[in-house]
Amino acid sequence: MPRIQPINPRYRRIYQALSGPDLAVSESAGMTLEDLGLGSAEASRGDLVFGTYSPQGLERALRAYGLFQRVEERVGPLELRVVCTDPYRPRIILWSRRFYVPVADLDLRRTTGAEVGLGDALAATPLLYLDSLLLQNPGRAFDWNRPPLPGQNHPGLKLAGHILDVLLLMARRIGTEALALTPSTFAAACVYDRRFLFVDGAAQGRFLALRQAGRHLPRWLHAWAVELHCMRDEHGEAVAFKPSPMVSPLSSRLGLHFDANTWDDALQLDARRQLTLDEETLQRRFPWERMPPGPPPERVAELLGYDPLAPVVAH
């Protein structure tokens, strides 16, 4: 099984230090439930995110891990917003008070293994599912050191790994056995690859073949080559990235799914495919209009057939 990067040890220690009352704390923590006319503590837990977190408790946890401060260092003052009409399908937003847009936006829900393709005894396994994740820094502009990836409107925050670690610990705290998601693009799958595996071994193999085929390219250009269907198989047919569920297991029994011979055999079969880059198609389809102004690095200019005398496309 491909190795998964372990959770940050410092985060593990912070996780152990945070208690249930720390996470369920509210602005009215100094008053008893009887004072507020809310009845028993058990009844109140139905209003908490996943029965565990109040909005204030979530912010306390984010500050304990240092994530809130790290984001503020990049974009300035923040406001935590929790949209929670269903406590088991929350939307968590870090809203920038400087730019008046979300800089982090997460949609989460609780589900089971059956939804992501786990069968038999694992079908009922409880999972925390990340429906969508947006991380952006609207205060930065793209440049040729950091061009846009497919789907990006602003540069990212360079905090995806930290946020995924905290979500994995959230998954553990609420009693689920994995964090699951479905990357919409190859670029997203490359971000998740350190901590997640595709449930389908063949999907893992196809991903590894695509990654191997572009190993000589800058990461951002590799992502565009896949997005623009510029990878070819041995028959010259385009090979596209197909979204497929990934999980990061937290229990040994779920980890056994990825140790099974059937999963590994499917991986090996697709990973052995020899894919090549169709440079001519990449040059023809490349979205210059989305790129930073000015000439690209020499190596990229040569690969893409950049013509400095060509008319400049308005950005």
Higher pLDDT, 58 or 31: 58
> 17 to each of 6, 62, 176, how far by Cα in Å?
19, 13, 20
55 pLDDT more than 90? yes
Mean pLDDT of the chain: 91
On whether the CB atoms of residues 177 and 125 are closer than 8 A, the answer is yes
The residue-averaged pLDDT of 204-214 equals 97
pLDDT at 5: 83
41 pLDDT more than 70? no
> 128 to each of 196, 250, 263, how far by Cα in Å?
13, 11, 22
- CA dihedral (129, 66, 160, 266) in degrees, to 10, reads -60
Give the tokens for residue 243.
């979204």
pLDDT at 38: 38
- What is the share, in percent, of the chain residues with pLDDT greater than 70? 91
pLDDT grade for 37, boundaries at 50, 70 and 90: very low
pLDDT at 205: 97
Domain boundaries, the chain: 9-29+39-304
123 pLDDT more than 60? yes
44 pLDDT more than 80? no
